[in-house]
Amino acid sequence: KTGVVRQRVESMQIDRKPIEVAKAPTRIGLKVVERVREGDKVFVMKPVSEEEKLASARYAD
Protein backbone atom coordinates (compact mmCIF):
# COMPACT_ATOMS: atom_id res chain seq x y z
CA LYS A 1 0.00 0.00 0.00
CA THR A 2 1.28 3.46 -0.84
CA GLY A 3 -0.14 6.87 -0.19
CA VAL A 4 -0.04 9.72 2.25
CA VAL A 5 0.72 9.31 5.95
CA ARG A 6 -0.16 12.28 8.12
CA GLN A 7 0.71 12.39 11.81
CA ARG A 8 2.13 14.55 14.56
CA VAL A 9 5.77 14.08 15.51
CA GLU A 10 5.89 12.30 18.85
CA SER A 11 9.52 11.18 18.83
CA MET A 12 12.49 12.57 16.89
CA GLN A 13 16.07 11.31 17.23
CA ILE A 14 19.62 11.63 15.94
CA ASP A 15 21.79 8.54 16.50
CA ARG A 16 19.04 7.12 18.76
CA LYS A 17 19.22 10.16 21.07
CA PRO A 18 16.05 12.24 21.53
CA ILE A 19 16.06 15.76 20.09
CA GLU A 20 13.52 18.59 20.04
CA VAL A 21 14.67 20.50 16.94
CA ALA A 22 16.53 19.65 13.72
CA LYS A 23 17.47 21.83 10.77
CA ALA A 24 17.81 20.76 7.14
CA PRO A 25 19.67 18.83 5.87
CA THR A 26 20.13 16.91 9.16
CA ARG A 27 19.22 13.22 8.94
CA ILE A 28 16.83 12.29 11.74
CA GLY A 29 14.70 9.37 12.83
CA LEU A 30 10.95 9.70 13.39
CA LYS A 31 8.57 7.31 15.08
CA VAL A 32 5.84 6.55 12.53
CA VAL A 33 2.44 4.89 12.84
CA GLU A 34 2.34 3.46 9.32
CA ARG A 35 4.87 1.88 6.99
CA VAL A 36 7.19 4.26 5.18
CA ARG A 37 10.02 3.33 2.87
CA GLU A 38 13.52 4.62 2.28
CA GLY A 39 13.29 7.44 -0.23
CA ASP A 40 9.78 8.55 0.80
CA LYS A 41 9.42 12.31 1.10
CA VAL A 42 8.67 14.02 4.40
CA PHE A 43 7.09 17.45 4.62
CA VAL A 44 6.74 19.70 7.65
CA MET A 45 3.26 21.19 7.87
CA LYS A 46 2.82 24.17 10.16
CA PRO A 47 -0.18 26.36 10.91
CA VAL A 48 -0.26 29.54 8.82
CA SER A 49 -1.27 32.86 10.36
CA GLU A 50 -3.87 35.08 8.70
CA GLU A 51 -1.07 37.57 7.89
CA GLU A 52 0.90 34.89 6.06
CA LYS A 53 -2.20 33.82 4.12
CA LEU A 54 -2.85 37.39 3.01
CA ALA A 55 0.80 37.94 2.07
CA SER A 56 0.95 34.79 -0.05
CA ALA A 57 -2.39 35.60 -1.72
CA ARG A 58 -0.91 38.88 -2.97
CA TYR A 59 1.77 36.98 -4.87
CA ALA A 60 -0.42 34.11 -6.13
CA ASP A 61 -1.32 35.78 -9.43
Hey, where are the domains in the chain? 1-61
Cα 39 to Cα 35: distance, rounded to the nearest angstrom? 12
With a pLDDT cut of 90, the percent of the chain lying above it is 44
Confidence grade of residue 2 (pLDDT, cut at 50, 70, 90):
low
Burial per residue of 9-32, b for 16 or more beta-carbon CB atoms within 10 angstroms, e otherwise: eeeeeeeeeeeeeeeeeeeeeeee
Report CA Rg, the chain.
15
Residue spans of alpha helices (H) in 1-61: 50-58
| Phi–psi pair at 45, nearest 5 degrees | -115, 120
pTM equals 0.57
Residue 3 has pLDDT above 90, yes or no: no
